[in-house]
């Protein structure tokens, strides 16, 4: 095992690399991963955080107060990258002849497709049952309705996207209409203030901030809804907000289960109100 000095040196190397990557991404005036250079920088951040996960003893970068400025910057840049990239993919699809795949090349985070595939089985193992009349909300689905379409195909029930970004909501709705998904719809609203009565399950996208407050809002406005947020794993919590399980427990939520594909940067959690 390496001594503490060696480990500290490796951690500081990771931090310096993250600062350099943040500076390079921040210097780009238009932040979309349709630009191959920006996609490469994004993926290099992912690889650097993976490297931090392999350090021993375990390192939790998001718990270091002296790195809060870097974390805030990377979270902001990551959100902007994903928002603009999905908007660009959506516009490209809507302006192209029919027959193209709107999601081609849009699987940005490693393990996301595997997460979608395994999420249904995980839900079932937690006792969740979705019938034709069930309604699922996806908070922060963005301009591309991958999750909506996947869940609808798998479960057969309506899936509604709730997004506070007006352009993303408009584009998502246009894609759904073009693809002919009548049971799927989009609501332009802030997930922090939306009314969740009538929903059986509320999914929250990984990049959405304020997950704890959304959980509180779900509890205030729905007696039955399951809360199913996605959360970053390991040091990927450094540039995406994790779910605060202790806070949700204080709110009265009980964790039914968590699941993540092997080597995934994202995990799926399932909470139910009460004990």
Same domain for 128 and 77, yes or no, is no
Label the pairing between strands 136-139 and 159-163: parallel
Q: With residue 136 as reference, give the H or E element that holds it.
A: strand 136-139
The alpha helices in the chain, defined as continuous H runs, are: 4-26, 36-53, 68-94, 112-125, 146-155, 166-179, 211-221, 245-250
Q: Is residue 269 part of a domain?
A: yes
Q: How many helices (H) and strands (E) does the chain have?
A: 8, 7
**Owning domain of residue 135:** 107-273
Same domain for 123 and 89, yes or no, is no
Final residue in a domain of this structure, among 95, 128, 144? 95
Final residue in a domain of this structure, among 95, 118, 149? 95
Same domain for 147 and 51, yes or no, is no
Number of domains present in the structure of the chain: 2
Buried-state track 148-181, b at ≥16 Cβ within 10 A, e below 16: bbbbbebbebbbbbbbbbeebbbbbbbbbeeeeb
- Please tell me the distance from the alpha carbon of residue 1 to that of residue 106, in angstroms, as a whole number: 40
**Residue-wise pLDDT tens digits, 61-95:** 999 999 999 999 999 999 999 999 999 999 998 99
Final residue in a domain of this structure, among 95, 129, 144? 95
- Please tell me the distance from the alpha carbon of residue 72 to that of residue 65, in angstroms, as a whole number: 11
Which range among 39-48, 49-58, 221-230 shows the weakest confidence by mean pLDDT? 49-58
β-partners of residue 273 are 253
Q: Is residue 237 part of a domain?
A: yes
The mean pLDDT value of the chain amounts to 91
Q: Percentage of the chain surpassing pLDDT 90? A: 75
- Please tell me the distance from the alpha carbon of residue 123 to that of residue 145, in angstroms, as a whole number: 20
Same domain for 115 and 54, yes or no, is no
Which range among 7-11, 24-28, 150-154, 240-244 shows the weakest confidence by mean pLDDT? 7-11
User: What is the arithmetic mean of pLDDT over 10-31?
Assistant: 96
Same domain for 83 and 175, yes or no, is no
pTM of the model: 0.92
Same domain for 128 and 252, yes or no, is yes
Q: Is residue 79 part of a domain?
A: yes
Same domain for 267 and 240, yes or no, is yes
């Amino acid at each position: 095992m390496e001594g503490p000095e060696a480990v500290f040196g490796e951690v500081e190397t990771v931090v310096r690399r993250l600062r350099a990557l943040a500076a390079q991404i921040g210097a780009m005036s238009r932040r979309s991963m349709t630009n191959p250079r920006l996609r490469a920088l994004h993926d290099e951040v992912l690889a650097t955080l993976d490297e931090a996960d392999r350090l021993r003893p375990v390192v939790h970068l998001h718990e270091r107060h002296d790195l809060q400025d870097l974390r805030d910057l990377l979270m902001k840049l990551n959100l902007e990258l994903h928002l603009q990239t999905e908007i660009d993919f959506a516009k490209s699809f809507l302006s192209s002849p029919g027959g193209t795949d709107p999601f081609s090349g849009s699987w940005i985070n490693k393990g996301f497709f595997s997460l979608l595939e395994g999420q249904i089985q995980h839900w079932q193992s937690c006792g969740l049952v979705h019938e034709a009349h069930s309604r699922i909300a996806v908070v922060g689905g963005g301009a591309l309705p991958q999750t909506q379409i996947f869940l609808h195909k798998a479960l057969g029930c309506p899936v509604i996207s709730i997004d506070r970004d007006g352009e993303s909501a408009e584009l998502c709705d246009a894609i759904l209409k073009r693809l002919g998904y009548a049971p799927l719809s989009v609501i332009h609203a802030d997930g922090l203030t939306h009314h969740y009565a009538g929903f059986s399950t509320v999914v929250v996208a990984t990049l959405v901030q304020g997950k704890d407050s959304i959980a509180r809002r779900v509890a205030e406005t729905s007696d039955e809804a399951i809360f199913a947020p996605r959360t970053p794993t390991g040091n990927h919590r450094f540039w995406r907000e994790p779910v605060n399980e202790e806070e949700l427990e204080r709110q009265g939520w009980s964790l039914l289960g968590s699941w993540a594909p092997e080597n995934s940067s994202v995990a799926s959690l399932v909470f139910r109100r009460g004990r």
